[in-house]
Structure 1
Amino acid sequence: MNKKILIVEDEFIVANDLSIILENAGYDVCDIADSVEEAREIIGRQKPRLVLLDIHLKGKLTGIDLAKQLTDESIAFVYLSANSNQKILEEAKATQPYGFMVKPFREKDVLVSLEIAQYLHEQNMLARRNNEQLLQNSLADILAEKGDWKEKFLKAAKTLQPYIPFDYLAVGMKNLGDSPYDGVSFLRTGFNDYQVIGFDELITISNLKRAELLKLQESSEDDLVSNFYNDDDFTEMCNHNPAKRFVARTFQMRSNLVMYIPVTGNPGFTFSFYSRKGDIYSNRHLKLIGKLQKTLSIAIDGISSDSKRSSQSVEEESRPNRDIKQQPAKGFNGIIGNSHLLLTALDHLSIVAPLDTSVLILGESGTGKERFAKSIHALSARSKKTMTVVNCAALPTHLIESELFGHEKGAFTGAVDRRIGKFEQASGGTIFLDEIGELPLESQSKLLRVLQEKEIERLGGRETITVDVRVIAATNCNLEKEVAAGKFRLDLYYRLNIFPILLPSLRERKEDIPQLAAHFVAKYSERVGKAGMILSNQALKDLDSYAWPGNVRELEHLIERNVLLTRGNVIERISLPAVKNEEGPVATGQKVQSIDDNEREYILRILRKCNGRISGPGGAAELLDVPSTTLNSKMKRLGITRKHVSG
């Protein structure tokens, strides 16, 4: 195995100490660089497998600047850092490193970090290769199908979405036959919903005359090369490219990726992706395009030969103004909304679901982490097996090992029978470890062994049992802070964090509230025999004005309560909890509440409403729809005591 490592560090003593540690452990330190310029020259010559990268270096460029190149070249890297401010750490984190090592280093930490980084890189490269091959095969099959070419391109667009995200896609051939433009475009309106826009629809949307729109669609040099344009580059491109300027203004787009497909005997074919995000496209997308070009070129050769028809038939085919909508993909049951952040999370879900990769779902309480876990399982090859759910916060400390790995008869006092643990029960399927951040350190080390070795031992047993389990973990904790505080193992964090999915809070996707609220109104009004209830405009305004510390779960409970309290068929007003809305302008010196502050205040309010009762009918746990053990754990973490409730 190639163990060639480059150290990029401008402090000689630090770099030399690292070099000695690595060489003693059998690594090949190919060189040491003290600036980005020197590092780039060495990378070109040596092609290291992994780079240890200081953030602050000699010269104007930082390690963060070099990290972007390393990502493009698929070279793993781990940051070396002294204490940095939050802004720099956030910028570094955005480059998706395989780890951080904080100075001064311990030898053990260095070697563990390198082992984890190499493992994660191998897993990512394997997943990427598998995904790219799957994507090529899928596109070839779609375009080889018989049928309307617009339908085929729509299927292709949906297949490309998780790999090349877009809000608008223009597909077509310029200067074909008698018409300057033969193509179609798709505007994303939901996870699996796209509005199909032909030439006549563009005339209607833009209010341009036919001749004006045809002029915009004339071929340009920009269509003959694959490239991407983000933010300022896209703005500059729009200044001299009328077609891109038209799309940007009409559909509020901020970035563009052009995929040029050579076609025999024709000027060429383009897939032009647009996004409302300004920094979404990168060299990684260009590399993927390069791998897809041959497959698409062969397929489109056949389509283009069938597409040479009169301009009249082109017009007739593009005339119907229609939306092609499909039901949400199977496995997304209960996940509702079309906001950009939610669609991004669903795109990530659809990428990772077919694989066996471990997944870490991150998000506040009530954002739907278990629903996402169930969807991942439902869309995987393991869907015919069960998904075993484990609430780590609810496990009694002295029984965690027994619950997870099982025990033999007589293993401890009270063990009157053999017990099969959750991992063994889940073998062949999926195990969902909810609230993984609440797992004690001792149990974390045993879980790490299972993830590494795929083996367990029952408590009190001598037999090693192989388990075939996919692990999905979830937490509302900031695990990086927990690692820094010594409460969560660094090696376990990186083993779980192979493919993170971040779920947005409800206050970050308020545009989804009307759809969610309507769903819950229909659900609970039918349940209590009041089918047909609706929300008034004022009620929707009430919902929009609230900060939702409890997220979708809180919204659901609030809607259920209002359905029960409303006598007629219209919910006129929503009675909201008395919580300050932290959105909007903040006065100078005013402290913005953290997520933990909001959650603590919300739990305290519910506890006071229940007169301090936690479990049982009418207790806070029932109202919050969580196990009482989970609520006790949260109260302990947030420092909530009986005194706070009574006060």
Structure 2
Amino acid sequence: MSYTPMSDLGQQGLFDITRTLLQQADLCALSEALTRLVRQAGLADQANILLWQSHHQRASFYGTDGKGSQLEYEDETALANGPLRRILSRPEALHCQYDEFKDTWPQLAQMPLYRAFGHYGLLPLAAEGHIFGGCEFIRQNPENWSEKEFARLQIFTQVAGVAAEQIQHRLTSSYEYQILCRERDDFRILVAITNAVLSKLHLDELVSEAAKEIHHYFNIDSISVVLRNSRKGKVSIWSAHYVDKAAPVHDQSEVDEAGTLSERVFKSREMLLVNLNQRDEHAPYERMLFEMWGNQIQTLCLLPLMFGQNIVGVLKLAQCEEKVFTASNIKLLRQIAERIAIAVDNALAYQEIHRLKEKLVDENLALTEQINNVSSEFGEIIGRSDVMSSVMKQVEMVAQSDSTVLILGETGTGKELIARAIHNLSGRNNRRMVKINCAAMPAGLLESDLFGHERGAFTGASTQRIGRFELADKSSLFLDEVGDMPLELQPKLLRVLQEKEFERLGSNKIINADVRLIAATNRDLKQMVADREFRSDLYYRLNVFPIQLPPLRERREDIPLLVKAFTFKIARRMGRSIDSIPAETLRTLSRMDWPGNVRELENVIERAVLLTHGSVLQLSLPEQVTRNDRASFEPPEDTDIPLQGEDESQQILRVLKETNGVVAGPRGAAQRLGIKRTTLLSRMKRLGITKEMIE
């Protein structure tokens, strides 16, 4: 092009140039405006702005290409070691032709920023005596600038320097303001998420709240928290998928850890950022994400949840749009993960405390039931009859094994006492036996009581509950009245017996339990199987080692021992002093049918103790108790019943002293001892008891 020398600028011309350059919004726009002005003045074909970043030792380029598009480039190599480096050390104008430029800075000459030209000039940009960059002027004509033209270029450079400094100051202030705004917004997000999650002590609520906040601020599609659980090689995942923004899908599942991206984070304890592709090999959970989001390419960001030196879990974020995971967002998400880690650790600690508390409550309840049951029955098995001896031999045989025992017998025969004897003689006796009565529990609550339930599993389930099977781990579980178990619940009991595992209501988490089962019933299970009221497979699984308890009418010889034990126990409990039982009372009790068996006998003795005045048991049978006159068993007439460990001579002597030596009559010693007058006199003679010993 031809160059027309510019006339003197004058005040108006300088004002217009200054106003034009100072109005530019950024450095590329400043370079473009400067190029336009020097072209109009016929001084150059292009003008570029170079700035120096001393703290980074980097140079920045701002200009335009031949088509008018803005160019921006920076580096710490070629550009930083180009012409700008020279004027920083020698603050004077630099100019040369293209060949010299190419030989001196060959790397720059190969860049699109500097296509072949005629002549090159670089003037320093300075402020307060400090050079902060340079102004490049390039002309296609190889002729050098005249002295007058060069002076005008200096004027343009001075004005451009003021404009560049102002733009830098404005951009720096704006950038710092943006940083402050971003830090303020980030702080608000952190406070909001911290307040939201730290108050949640249940994992499902915690994850749901965290997911809601993260989705709100980052618009992330899927948020999950992955935790290792008690089952080896398994992880639990709580997720919220925002397929429908208004109604997110909440999910809780258990998957194998092996092969998952979470496994890599658990091992490395470092963040993992990956792009998933449909063609890649994925674990089932990652494959499910593809299917849920229409097989779109997804970006996954996995952040370790670190609490101190421990990794408590993994925060997994899935997003179809990669632009969400910018450097600034990841920095903030790392801080959010730290808060979630604290909340997860709190929730896990609360869960463990709650579990131990529930276990303690259940153990105390079961122990109280056990103590109460022991105190309402006899404290040990009492019986010397042949049938009871046979039962005890069976107990001893099966106790040391882990075989399931089925105790059969009428109501009140002492099935629970036999179950407790089996447990106490087993290798599991270091832990208490757990008991549940299937007949006493409503059908709707029996499953929850057996297997436990999660919070929210059904209406009224406000807290998590540990079931009896979980409570009886490494111990024995006594299922009383198993014949009354609902038919729909029996397959679940069969599964526990066969697989040693179960699930709480409202959860799909598998719980293993090593439980020895002892069942009891007063019903005919074989007939119930025939009538389709009881599952045959469960019956055969329970009937491994059946023990049949005899009714009390088939072990009448044990009745005197039972009467003595009950009388002494109940009298002591009531603060009474009863030291003898009339033989007629024993004969009467031994002739009865006892449809209620041992429990009925105990109730009769308790009534007798209540109605007794004095130290001799006074039997008062209720109307509903009837005699069986055809009974063949009767205790010998001359049987005496010492209650407090006295020998025969001591007992007779003591009773004679209490009756002042009176033998016969309603208040005599014979009546109190429950024997005939002639029998008492015969014994006194045999034992050498005289009147002098009584006085």
| TM-score tier after normalising by the smaller chain length | 0.3 to 0.5
Q: Which has the higher contact order (CA 8 A, sep 6+)?
A: 1
State the TM-score, normalized to the length of structure 2: 0.36
Which of structures 1 and 2 has the bigger CA Rg?
2
State the TM-score, normalized to the length of structure 1: 0.38
